[in-house]
Amino acid sequence: MSRRPPKPGLPAADEAAMSHDPINGGAATEPIRSEFADDEDMAELVEFFVGEMSDRIAAIEAAVNAGDTDRLATLAHQLKGAAGGYGFRVVSEVAAALEKAVRYDARPLEQVNAEVQDLIDICRRVSA
């Protein structure tokens, strides 16, 4: 898979996360912080979003294990919107790529394993 150039206008933390993540050719372990991490008004909401991430990961894994591409596309779509709204742009972008692969490109599960794993890996790194 080819390395994508950094997205213009990404916060430095997101740019660093994307330059070291699995979709860009290297294993990453750095936490991914919300662009709202320092916003007192958003702190509780961001913490809630991060706290429910393990449930989202489990739902994605369950959809894959059940072979349910419709559910997987729905979960990716929901995560795309929620992650963007809570300031996790890189998560939103990876979820959007998975949704596109499954819903619009109609790729079967066997062909989206890398995208699923990338999303799960990125989700495991989100941090309040």
The domain in which residue 103 lies consists of 37-127
14 belongs to a structural domain = no
**Predicted structure pTM score:** 0.78
6-33, pLDDT tens digit by residue? Answer: 344 444 444 444 444 444 444 578 999 9
120 belongs to a structural domain = yes
Q: How many domains does the chain have?
A: 1
52-101, pLDDT tens digit by residue? Answer: 999 999 999 999 999 999 999 999 999 999 999 999 999 999 999 999 99
Q: How large a percentage of the chain has pLDDT more than 70?
A: 79
6 belongs to a structural domain = no
pLDDT at 22: 46
**Domain harbouring 89, CATH code:** 1.20.120.160
For 72-89, b where at least 16 C-beta lie within 10 A, e where not — what string?
Answer: bbbbbbebbebbbebbbb
96 belongs to a structural domain = yes
pLDDT at 41: 93
